[in-house]
Structures are given as structure tokens and as C-alpha cells.
Amino acid sequence: MARQHRIPGRLNAAIMALQLAGIGACVYFIATVQTWTGVWLTTAAFGLLMNSVYAIIHEADHGMLFDNRRLNDAGGVLMALFFPAPFHLLRQGHLGHHMRNRSDDEAFDLYFDGEHPVWKCMQLYGTLTGFYWLVAVASNLVVLFFPFVLQPKYFTFDRPSVAFMDALNPRYNRAMRLEALATIVLHTTIVLTLGISPVHYAVMYLGFGVSWSAMQYVHHFGTTRHVLNGARNLWIWGPLDRLWLHHNWHLTHHRHPTVPWVHLPHIGHKENPERGFLPAHYIRMWRGPRKAADRVENRYAGRVIR
């Protein structure tokens, strides 16, 4: 990696420490608040914080959290415990996304001959309303108790699911099971030890889940059918963009997936400074998927994640 694109390891470690402290504070407040006003305020703060945590996980997905691979993955595993989902499953899903982006294997805003528009609507609107995050959380139970479900033969009705599963590497199965077990034990211990209302805890996490899920396709909806250029740079508010580690420089990230977050604005301003307003593009997604005739094959089909 070029010197000017060095990984900011110390800064990332400091950010992780602050994020963990923030998670601790939110857990404390959700355990002690007595009113729904307090629950909603804690939920709002937790949602903002956890999208920043996901940005750190995203850096680990790409091996850009720390220079040392083992330390990088350990940091990703730690922070993914609070997502909560197995890091090695999130990582494979995200790296697979970079391979499948805007091909027929991953075009949730489009449907083709042979695909049912109702199913595509369910997928897109499920993403917009938080269901995608629930699926990710449910993966803890799937990889731990029902791993046989992660086979393409059960999802022949859905091309993106088959492509996702085809890219999964069996070498990470044991790691995913251990991470899923650790996730379940951690959150069960937190709730029982601190006497947190399960309803309050679920509301806090659902608030994050809805906000995270809602933003997972906004950078790609309606973009060009190109694996690298099929994304857009967005903005929402300066402090939030920085809190979320410039994740909204998404086109720049797809063009330069090995460049750490601190360098994205500089590169983005040079290459393509145009940025859309994130909430406006989110609203546009509600128009739903449209029928398309142009087909774009996934040139990386069959390749597993390393």
C-alpha cells in the first residue's frame, strides 16, 4: 500500500476505544431509564454511534483497520459482537458485494424476466425498513444451529442469495460459529447481569438496525451497471459524515477499495466531487424496483472469498 494511503492504526484504535465507551454508556442508560422518552433518546444516540461502529467493521472487512492481519481481524470480531453478527460472515458478504455490485447477481432495484416483482419489492422495502439487519442478526442462530440452511439449493428462487452463498468460503465456518456463540453469550449476559428490560434493549438495537439497513443500498440505487462505478458519493451533515468515517464517499471507496477512510475525501474531491443528499436518495428508493432488459453478468461468479 502506498505511503500516502497508509492505514491510520493508532487513530482507528482510539476511535474503537471511544466507540466501546459509547456503547457502554448507551447500555448503562438503557438499563436505568424509566421513561419511554429516555428510551427513545438512548436509541437515537445508539443508532448514530453504531453506524460509526459499522464503519470500523467495514475497515476491518477490507483489511484496513490495522496493518497486522491478525490484529485487524481481531478488531473486526470484537466490534462485530455489538453489531451483532459474526464478523467473518459480514466480511464475506461485504467483499462479495464488491464483486457482484450492479450485476444481475446484485441489483435489488431491478427485476428481470423470470423474476417476480413482488419478491423484489419485498427485498428492497425490507432493506429500507430494517429487515436486512434482522436477517444479519438471525445469522447468529443460522450458522450456530442450522448451518445447512446456507446452501444455494434452498434459494434457487433468488439469484442474489445463491450468488452470496456460492462465494462463502468453508474455511471460515468454524470462526463464524464461535463468533455467533460469543455474540449470543455476550448479549444474554449483558441483559441478565444488568437487569435490562428485554423490550428496551430490543428497541435500542432495532433503532440502529432500521437506520443501518435503510442506508445499505442508497449508494447504489439507480446507478450505472458497473462493478466499480455503480455507486454514488453522498453527504448528510459534516459532523455525521466524519462520525461515520466518510462512508458516504461510497463511489470513491468502490473505485479504491484498499484506500483507508481518512484518504477518501481527498481522492473523492479530485476525481468526482459531486455528492448527492443522502435523505433525498433514500426517499427516491421508495419508488421501488423497475423492470430491466439489459443483463450484466457477474464476472467473478464462482469465486470464493479468501
Residues forming beta bridges with residue 138, ordered by sequence position: none
Percent of the chain with pLDDT over 90: 97
Supply the pLDDT for residue 161: 95
Element housing 246 (H / E):
none
What is the residue extent of each domain of the chain?
3-291
Q: Which three cell numbers stand for residue 224?
A: 450505472
Tell me how crowded residue 54 is: count the other CB atoms within 10 A of its CB: 23
Q: Are 41 and 30 in contact (CB under 8 A)?
A: no
Percent of the chain with pLDDT over 70: 99
Render pLDDT for 78-106 as a digit per residue (tens, 0 to 9): 999 999 999 999 999 999 999 999 999 99
DSSP track, 256-300: -TTS-GGGHHHHHHHH----EEHHHHHHHHTT--EE-------TT
Q: Which residue has the cell 451497471?
A: 225
- Distance of alpha carbon 287 from alpha carbon 41, whole angstroms: 30
Render pLDDT for 193-243 as a digit per residue (tens, 0 to 9): 999 999 999 999 999 999 999 999 999 999 999 999 999 999 999 999 999
Q: Pick from 15, 17, 18, 304: which is nearest to 164 by CA? A: 304
User: Residue 1: pLDDT above 70?
Assistant: no
Q: Which three cell numbers stand for residue 293?
A: 432488459
Q: Which residue has the cell 442462530?
A: 141
Render pLDDT for 41-89 as a digit per residue (tens, 0 to 9): 999 999 999 999 999 999 999 999 999 999 999 999 999 999 999 999 9
Q: Phi first, then psi: give them for residue 169, nearest 5 degrees.
A: -100, 120
Render pLDDT for 252-287 as a digit per residue (tens, 0 to 9): 999 999 999 999 999 999 998 999 999 999 999 999
CA 262 to chain centre: 19
Q: Are 118 and 87 in contact (CB under 8 A)?
A: no
Instruction: Supply the pTM of this predicted model.
Output: 0.96
SS (H, E, C) 14-83: HHHHHHHHHHHHHHHHHHHCCCHHHHHHHHHHHHHHHHHHHHHHHHHHCCCCCCCHHHHHHHHHHHHCCC
